[in-house]
């Protein structure tokens, strides 16, 4: 038996509980890993809260997508990994759909092609923080066809996806204006962005900060920033959002994120972090206990976390 975080009904973090479940066995083309760390994402609490819909008849379900760990068993047909290999990845699924098994568990079985090797220089906590963020940021910049010379505005720029998108955009030669709270100004400057505080008057502050005409906007927060993009004179085709909503769709924004990711995006991001070329900010590391996990998701739901929250499962 192994321990895993599950929920048996939809609701807030209080529905999360520690359960003893059967240790999973890898099937054909799969690997089982001993989870070392699990990264938390806003999509997790949106799913277990029922905000994305959901069928109560499928419960209980696991929680968490991002993981890092050590391979402890391989199924038939797996040639790329061996027992003892350190890996990272993310549990994939249709948008808004939960998983029977989540990464907040002592052991996890995934298809081998979902995992990538962890570079030696990359810690397990940092590796567990990369999955969704790297895929969403890479997919979003691909949607926008970002290139050298662009001037891009990124809302929610200090969050897990936003901070990675900022750095990847800077590496492509774009000028980046990052919208976040005032307390994150120095942090955004350290990532290469021009910081702008959110709130009343943000439109004029963005215009004043722009070193050249703004060409793109990536929304990592909500539909109000799609509206901001249109006020700044951008066409809907130059606007992408990670937060699907009726309002954003009505304004013509492109919904983007992991759905536009490519298989090698995570491997490349892990390599950049290992080289020190890109930073992953870990805002907090929590122990693998039910109460601590509830606390972590309560903090995440506030929407002001700088970087990522991680649970140490080992």
Q: What pLDDT, in 10s, does the model give residues 85-97?
A: 999 999 986 545 5
What whole-number distance in Å separates Cα of residue 160 and Cα of residue 66?
12
| Pair 123, 44: CB distance under 8 Å | no
pTM of the model: 0.92
From-to residues of CATH 3.90.180.10 in the chain: 2-130+280-312
Q: What pLDDT, in 10s, does the model give residues 134-149?
A: 999 999 999 999 999 9
The tokens describing 156, both together, are 């929610």
Q: Please spell the DSSP secondary structure of 15-64, one letter per residue.
A: GEEEEEEPPP---TTEEEEEEEEEE--HHHHHHHTTTT---GGG-SEE--
From-to residues of CATH 3.40.50.720 in the chain: 135-259
Identify the CATH homologous superfamily for domain 135-259: NAD(P)-binding Rossmann-like Domain (3.40.50.720)
Task: Please check whether the domain covering 2-130+280-312 is classified as CATH 3.90.180.10.
Answer: yes
What is the band of 48 on the pLDDT scale with cuts at 50, 70, 90? very high
């Amino acid at each position: 038996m192994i321990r895993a975080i599950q929920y048996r009904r939809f609701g807030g973090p209080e529905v999360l509980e520690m359960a003893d479940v059967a240790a999973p066995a890898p099937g054909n083309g799969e690997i089982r890993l001993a989870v070392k760390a699990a990264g938390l994402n806003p999509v997790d609490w949106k799913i277990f809260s029922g905000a994305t819909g959901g069928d109560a008849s499928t419960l209980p379900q696991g929680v968490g997508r991002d993981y890092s760990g050590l391979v402890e068993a391989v199924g038939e047909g797996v040639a790329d990994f061996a027992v003892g290999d350190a890996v990272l990845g993310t549990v994939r699924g249709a948008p808004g759909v939960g998983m029977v098994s989540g990464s907040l568990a002592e052991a996890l079985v995934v298809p081998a092609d979902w995992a990538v090797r962890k570079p030696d220089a990359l810690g397990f906590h940092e590796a567990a923080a990369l999955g969704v963020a790297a895929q969403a940021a890479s997919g979003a910049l691909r949607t926008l066809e970002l290139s050298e010379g662009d001037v891009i505005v990124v809302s929610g720029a200090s969050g897990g996806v936003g901070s990675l998108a900022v750095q990847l955009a800077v590496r492509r030669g774009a000028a980046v204006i990052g919208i976040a709270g005032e307390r994150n100004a120095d942090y955004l400057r350290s990532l290469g962005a021009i910081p702008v505080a959110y709130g009343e008057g943000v439109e004029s502050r963005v215009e004043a900060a722009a070193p050249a005409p703004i060409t793109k906007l990536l929304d990592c927060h909500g539909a109000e920033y799609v509206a901001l993009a249109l006020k700044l004179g951008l066409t809907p085709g130059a606007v992408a959002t990670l937060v699907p909503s009726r309002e954003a769709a009505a304004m013509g924004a492109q919904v983007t994120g992991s759905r536009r990711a490519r298989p090698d995006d995570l491997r490349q991001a892990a390599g950049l972090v290992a080289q020190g070329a890109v930073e992953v900010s870990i805002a907090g590391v929590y122990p693998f206990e039910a109460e601590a996990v509830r606390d972590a998701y309560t903090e995440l739901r506030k929407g002001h976390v700088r970087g990522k929250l991680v649970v140490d499962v080992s």
